[in-house]
């Protein structure tokens, strides 16, 4: 499996049987994601920075609701969560997605705004790669994100949705999350290539560089 960060909360996740794009964002977000081809697009909530489907090539199936879906060789579970810590009263609903391909489970939390409940965590169990927002404001911040990481216990953690030199949203930078995780001297990688057999034995924090 290959995971590439295209910017903001948008990733391209490719296996031998399917290609998935998560939360595609428009140029107005500050990122240029190109025209990735996908079989599936997951949309965590209906904000343009997370639902710009016209940027995706092909004829993808768009998933934006909780539930279980089997498309091509991918099994997708949408987990109903919230965009804030008040059960959606401020920013509404959010869908976190668990994507199963090639014996790997990738969890994209979308714009999660709270610590997941035990039932939600159960649906996110045995996660190989966790894609987690860390920039605060409309999502969990660095401190809460670190707490969520330790609750879910993935093999690999990749932060997203934080301030970069091109971000238009008011988001916190990455440093607070890294400090909370006790991480330093990490160099961003262009992509992650991973298989079930190559998963680390201890949790690994990985930074990806966004598409430029």
**Residue 27 has which token pair?**
């140029």
pLDDT band at 170 (very low <50, low <70, confident <90, very high): confident
pLDDT in tens, 113-124: 999 999 999 999
CATH number for the 2-205 domain, one of 3.20.20.10, 3.60.15.10, 2.130.10.10, 3.30.479.30?
3.60.15.10
- Decide if pLDDT at 80 tops 90: yes
């Amino acid at each position: 499996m290959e995971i590439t960060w295209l910017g903001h909360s948008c990733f391209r996740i490719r296996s031998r049987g399917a290609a998935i794009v998560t939360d595609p964002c428009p140029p107005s977000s500050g990122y240029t994601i190109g025209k990735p081809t996908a079989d599936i697009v997951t949309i965590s909530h209906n904000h343009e920075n997370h639902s710009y489907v016209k940027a995706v090539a092909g004829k993808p199936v768009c998933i934006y609701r909780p539930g279980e879906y089997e498309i091509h060789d991918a099994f997708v579970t949408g987990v109903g969560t919230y965009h804030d810590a008040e059960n959606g009263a401020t920013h509404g609903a959010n869908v976190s997605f668990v994507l199963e391909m090639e014996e790997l489970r990738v969890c994209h939390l979308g714009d999660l705004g709270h610590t997941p409940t035990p039932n939600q965590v159960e649906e996110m169990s045995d996660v190989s790669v966790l894609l987690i927002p860390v920039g605060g404001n409309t999502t969990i911040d660095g401190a809460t994100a670190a707490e969520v990481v330790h609750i879910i216990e993935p093999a690999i953690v990749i932060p997203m949705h934080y301030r970069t030199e091109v971000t238009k949203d008011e988001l916190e930078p990455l440093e607070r999350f890294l400090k909370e995780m006790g991480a330093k001297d990490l160099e961003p990688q262009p992509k992650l290539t991973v298989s079930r057999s190559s998963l680390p034995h201890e949790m690994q924090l990985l930074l990806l560089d966004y598409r430029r």
